Amino acid sequence: MISLKKLFKFSIWFLFFFFSTIVSTPARPWLGGVRRKIRHKQDMYSTFSTTKTTIHKDLKVLYYPQTLDHFNYQQESYVTFKQKYMMYSKHWGGAKDNYPIFVHFGDEEPMFNDEINWLILPDYAAKFKALVVIIEHRYYGWSKPFGMSMEEIIKNTTVRGYFNSAQALADSAEIILFLKKRLNATYSPVIVFEGSYGGMLASWFRLKYPHIALGALAASAPVLYFDNMIEQNHGYYYVVTNDFKEASENCYNTIKSSWAEIDKIGSTPKGLSYLSNKFKTCSQLQETRTLKDFLENMYDDVAQYSDTDNNPSIICKAIDQGKKGNDILSRIYAGVHAYFNGTHHNCFNTNYFDDYSVETNLGYDWQTCSEMVMPVVRGSHCLDIFSAKKDDPEWLVNQRKREVEIMSGWIKLYHNDLYKFMK
Amino acid sequence: MISLKKLFKFSIWFLFFFFSTIVSTPARPWLGGVRRKIRHKQDMYSTFSTTKTTIHKDLKVLYYPQTLDHFNYQQESYVTFKQKYMMYSKHWGGAKDNYPIFVHFGDEEPMFNDEINWLILPDYAAKFKALVVIIEHRYYGWSKPFGMSMEEIIKNTTVRGYFNSAQALADSAEIILFLKKRLNATYSPVIVFEGSYGGMLASWFRLKYPHIALGALAASAPVLYFDNMIEQNHGYYYVVTNDFKEASENCYNTIKSSWAEIDKIGSTPKGLSYLSNKFKTCSQLQETRTLKDFLENMYDDVAQYSDTDNNPSIICKAIDQGKKGNDILSRIYAGVHAYFNGTHHNCFNTNYFDDYSVETNLGYDWQTCSEMVMPVVRGSHCLDIFSAKKDDPEWLVNQRKREVEIMSGWIKLYHNDLYKFMK
C-alpha cells in the first residue's frame, strides 16, 4: 500500500508543465480517472439521460457546431457536429474586469449535466470569481457526430479517422476562442483542468495552444508515458505489484504463486468447478483466464484507487491472516472477500470490473490502440480534481492550497502584464 | 528610408519566442523572403532542374516517404508522397557527443540543391559542429504529392485540403524524429531556422513541438500578424509609406499626389498612350492600374529589401531632384529610373515584379488566402538567415554574434541538464 506520506511525496498533481509521474492509466487500454466516477454513477449510466440529473440554476448546457476536421481544407472537413459544453457561472466575476475562465476538459466518458458536482472546480472558481466551462470530448456522450452510436463510429473508417486527441484539442481551442469572443472576455486568462486522459489533454493544450491557455492543472496525467520517455520498470504493473509488495512481502508471494496454482487446478473440468465453488463465481468458470482477469482487475483497482477504505493492505491483511484457510487459494479468496467488504455474499460476478459504458470501452480502446499506447505508474488517481471531502487527508488539502497559490501567481502576473501593456 | 541605426533598433531577428515585429510579408499574398532569392536565382527558375546546381560533396539530397495527413486515421491519410530534404554534414561533430542538429525549414518555394550556399547556417554549423538539415515544404518544389503540378494540386480539392502549415509542421516533426533515430542522435539538440513564412514555421514549430526543437531562430517572421494581435497602423503599407516619408516628406507628398494624376491623365486612350511613353512601358498600357501596380510593387520592394544599394532614399533623391522634369509624373519617372539604376534603358516591363514562379504564386496565394491572411511591418527582410557578406553592416554582424551567443547558451544548458540526468 502507498502510505499517505508516500502519496504526498509522490504527489499526484501537475501544474503548468511540471508534472509528476505518479499516475495510472494501465498498460491495457483500461483507463484511469473514469472508473471511480463510473462506480459512483452506475445508475446514471444505466439510463444515460440528461433529464434525470440535477441541473444547477447557474449551469447552462450548450451545444457548439464543431468542425469535424481542423487540419484540412477539404469540403467535407467543414462538416460540423454538435459538441456538448456547459457553463457554470455561479462565481463568475464577469469579463469586464478580466476574471478568469477555468476550462474542464472532458475525457473518455460523457459529461453529464451534474459533472460540476464531482469537481473541485467550483471551489476554485469561488476563490477566483471564475467562469467554469466543461467541454465534452468529441465522440463521447452527447458529442458524437451525425447521431451515430460509438459502435457505428468505430465501424465507420471515415468518421473514426477524426477520433484523436489532436482534433479534440483543436475542438477545445475553437470553443474557448468562440466563448471569449461571445462573452467579450478577450483578456480573461484561461486555465485548463482535468485528470487522467483529460489531464493529458490539459497539459498538451497548454503546450500546443500557449496563446489560449495561461496554465494547466493536470491530475494523474501520464504525459511522459510515450516514446519511451520513462523507464520500463516504472510501468503500471510494476507499480501495482510493488504496492502489494510494500503492503506485505508474504502477501506478494502468495499472490505470485497463486497464478500457477489456479492454472494447475483449473486444467481439468473438475478443477474449474472446484475453482468456481471456491471463489463463489456467479457462473461456472469456462477457463482459468476469467478468474485470473477478475483477480488482476481487483488488484489493479485497489492499487489505482487506493484510499483509507480500500487499499492493498486491507486485501493483504486478509490474505496473510488466512481467515478462509491456509492454502493459497483460500488466502486469495479471503482477499477477495475483504475487498468486497462482506457485500456480494451469494456470488461474485467475474465481470464486476468491466463496468465501463460500451462507448468508453470501445472509444478509449480505439484511442489507446491508435495513438496512446502506454504503460503506467504510482499513486491514487486524479484525487485532486474531484470535489473536496471532509475526510480528505492533510496532504491533499495542502496540495490544493498550493495549487491555488500557484494559479493566483499566474493570474496576478498576467493581470499585471495586461494592465501595463494596455496603459 | 530606415537608417542602419534604426534597422538595428528595430532589428529583424527573432530567437526562441521573443520576436520583433519588424517584418514584411505584404497584405496582398505577396510573400517575403522569397523575392530576393528569386531575383538572384532567376536562371535556375527558368530551368527548374536539380542537375544544373552545384552540389557540395558534404551534401546529401534525400526523399522521405511523408504521410499525407498527420491528423487523421482514415486509410487514405496514410498515403505517402516523396518529400525532399537535404543533409549537409561538413561540420557535423557526430551523434556520439550529442552535437546539435540545425534544421532549415523550406518556405513557399523549391529547395534547390544549392540552397545551403545562400544560408548563414554553414557558418553557424561550423561554430557548433552541427548537422544542417534542409526540409522542403510540402507541395513546393520536388515535394509535390503524386507527381502533380501546382496547377493540378490547386484544382484538386482533395489533395489541396492537406496543403496547410499544421500539416507542414507535422511533416518536419516526422522527418526530424526519423533522422534522430536513424543517426542515433537521440540526444542531439535541435534548433530550427528560417525567415519570412519559413520563420513563422520555425516559431510555430518551437511552440507546438517543444519536445523536438530546443529553440528557433526566425528572421522577419510575422507571427504576430494574426488574430488582430498587432495594431492596424503597424500594417505593411503603413510602414512602406512611412519609410518614404522618413526618407523625404516632399517625396512622400509627390508619390501621394501621383496616383490621382495618373488616373486623371490615363482616363482617355490618348492619356494612356502618353503614360506609356512617359514611363517607357514595354507594351502599351490598357489601364492605369497596370502602371500603378508596377510603381506600388517598386515602392514595396525597395522598402522591404532595403539595403545600401537600393532603398527609399535613392528613389526619393531622384524624385526630389526632378532630374527628369519638375512635374509630378516626370519626378516619379526619375524615381523609377533611379531604382533600375540605368538598366532597362529601352523599356520597363510592368510585370517586372511578378517574378515568382507559378507554383509559388499559386501555392502561396492558396496558403495566404486559406489560413494566413495578414498585414505586415518594418525592416529589411530576412537578412540574417542569408550567408554573411563582406559589406554586411555592423549591426547585422553584431546581431549574428548575439544569435550565436544565445544559441550557445541554449545548447550549453541543454547539455548540462542532459549529462546530469544521465548520471
Q: Report the CATH superfamily, name and number, of domain A32-221+382-413.
A: Alpha/Beta hydrolase fold, catalytic domain (3.40.50.1820)
Q: Is B124 on the interface with A (CB under 8 A)?
A: no
Q: Is A284 on the interface with B (CB under 8 A)?
A: no
More reliable by pLDDT, B372 or A293: A293
Q: Is A161 on the interface with B (CB under 8 A)?
A: yes
Label residue B240 by pLDDT band (50, 70, 90): confident
The conformation of residue A274, written as its DSSP 8-state character, comes to H
pLDDT at res. B375: 53
Identify which of A69, A73, A210 has the shortest CB distance to residue B72. A69
Radius of gyration of chain A (CA): 23
Distances in Å between the Cα of A88 and the Cα atoms of A181, A233, B200 are: 17, 42, 37
pLDDT at A252 over 70: yes
pLDDT at A233 over 50: yes
Q: Is A210 on the interface with B (CB under 8 A)?
A: yes
Looking at chain B, the domain(s) classified CATH 1.20.120.980 span 240-358
Please list, in sequence order, all residues whose beta carbon lies within 8 angstroms of the beta carbon of residue A378, skipping any fewer than 6 positions away: A2, A10, A21, A22, A23, A24, A234, A239, A242, A243
Q: Mean pLDDT check: name the lowest of A322-326, B214-218, B264-268.
A: A322-326
In this structure, which amino acid lies at residue B251?
C
Q: Mean pLDDT check: name the lowest of A165-179, B281-295, B383-397.
A: B383-397
Q: Which residues of B touch A166 (CB under 8 A)?
A: 70-71
The stretch A34-40 carries a mean pLDDT of 40
Interface contact flag, A161 B70, Cβ < 8 Å: no
Q: Which residues of B touch A72 (CB under 8 A)?
A: 69, 71-72, 161-162, 164
Interface contact flag, B70 A71, Cβ < 8 Å: yes
Interface contact flag, A71 B74, Cβ < 8 Å: no
Q: Is B228 on the interface with A (CB under 8 A)?
A: no
Ramachandran area for residue B147 (φ above 0: left; ψ -120 to 50: alpha; else beta): left
pLDDT tens by residue, B317-351? 999 998 888 999 999 999 999 998 877 668 999 98
pLDDT tens by residue, B66-80? 999 999 998 888 999
Interface contact flag, A69 B71, Cβ < 8 Å: yes
Interface contact flag, B71 A70, Cβ < 8 Å: yes
> Measured at the alpha carbon of residue A372, what is the angle toward residues B176 and B160, in degrees to the nearest 5?
55
The stretch B209-216 carries a mean pLDDT of 94
Residue of B nearest to A167 (CA): B71
Label residue B198 by pLDDT band (50, 70, 90): very high
Interface contact flag, A161 B73, Cβ < 8 Å: yes
pLDDT tens by residue, B104-129? 999 998 999 999 988 999 999 999 99
User: Per DSSP, what are the bridge partners of residue A15?
Assistant: A18, A217
Q: Is A355 on the interface with B (CB under 8 A)?
A: no
Identify which of B157, B160, B167 has the shortest CB distance to residue A71. B167
Which site among A17, A68, A70, A72 would you substitute to test the B interface, given the most B Cβ atoms closer than 10 Å to its Cβ?
Answer: A72
More reliable by pLDDT, B283 or B232: B283
pLDDT at A221 over 90: no
Which site among A16, A68, A73 would you substitute to test the B interface, given the most B Cβ atoms closer than 10 Å to its Cβ?
Answer: A73
Q: Is B28 on the interface with A (CB under 8 A)?
A: no
* φ/ψ of residue B246, rounded to 5: -70, -30
Q: Which residues of A touch B72 (CB under 8 A)?
A: 69, 71-72, 161-162, 164
Q: Which residues of A touch B231 (CB under 8 A)?
A: none
Looking at chain A, the domain(s) classified CATH 3.40.50.1820 span 32-221+382-413
Entry field: residues in chain B: 423
The stretch A176-205 carries a mean pLDDT of 94
**Structural contact between residues A309 and A340, judged by C-beta atoms closer than 8 angstroms:** no
- Report chain A's mean pLDDT, rounded to a whole number: 82
**Maximum average pLDDT range among A28-32, B29-33, B238-242:** B238-242
**Share of residues in chain A with pLDDT > 70 (%):** 82
Query: Which of B111-142 are b and which e, b meaning 16 or more Cβ less than 10 Å from the residue's Cβ?
Result: bbbbbbebbbbbebbeebebbbbbbbbbbbbb
* φ/ψ of residue A88, rounded to 5: -115, 105
Q: Is B70 on the interface with A (CB under 8 A)?
A: yes
The stretch A110-127 carries a mean pLDDT of 92
Query: DSSP states of A204-269 as a string?
Result: HHHHH-TTT-SEEEEES--TTSSTT-S-GGGSHHHHHHHHHHHH-HHHHHHHHHHHHHHHHHTTSH
The stretch B44-64 carries a mean pLDDT of 63
Q: Which residues of B touch A161 (CB under 8 A)?
A: 72-74, 77
Q: Which CATH number fits domain B240-358: 1.20.120.980, 3.20.20.80, 1.10.1240.10, 3.40.50.261?
A: 1.20.120.980
pLDDT tens by residue, B142-183? 999 999 999 999 999 999 999 999 999 999 999 999 999 999
Rounded to the nearest angstrom, the minimum Cα separation between A225 and chain B is 14
Q: Which residues of B touch A210 (CB under 8 A)?
A: 207
The answer to ipTM > 0.90 is no
SS3 A23: coil
Summary count for chain A: helices (H), strands (E): 17, 8
Interface contact flag, B162 A72, Cβ < 8 Å: yes
pLDDT at res. B76: 85
The stretch B46-62 carries a mean pLDDT of 63
Q: Is B157 on the interface with A (CB under 8 A)?
A: yes
Interface contact flag, A167 B71, Cβ < 8 Å: yes
pLDDT at res. B168: 97
CA A28 to CA B308: how far, in whole Å? 65
Q: Which residues of A touch B207 (CB under 8 A)?
A: 208, 210
Tell me the three cell numbers of residue B208.
507546438
pLDDT tens by residue, B1-53? 333 333 222 223 333 322 222 222 333 334 443 343 444 343 333 333 344 44
pLDDT at A200 over 50: yes
Q: Which residues of B touch A207 (CB under 8 A)?
A: 208, 210
pLDDT at res. A381: 59
**What part of A 367-386 touches B (C-beta under 8 Å)?**
370
Q: Mean pLDDT check: name the lowest of A34-38, A157-161, B236-240, B291-295.
A: A34-38
> What is the side-by-side order of every strand in the sheet holding A18-19?
A18-19, A14-15, A215-219, A190-195, A101-105, A131-135, A80-88, A59-67
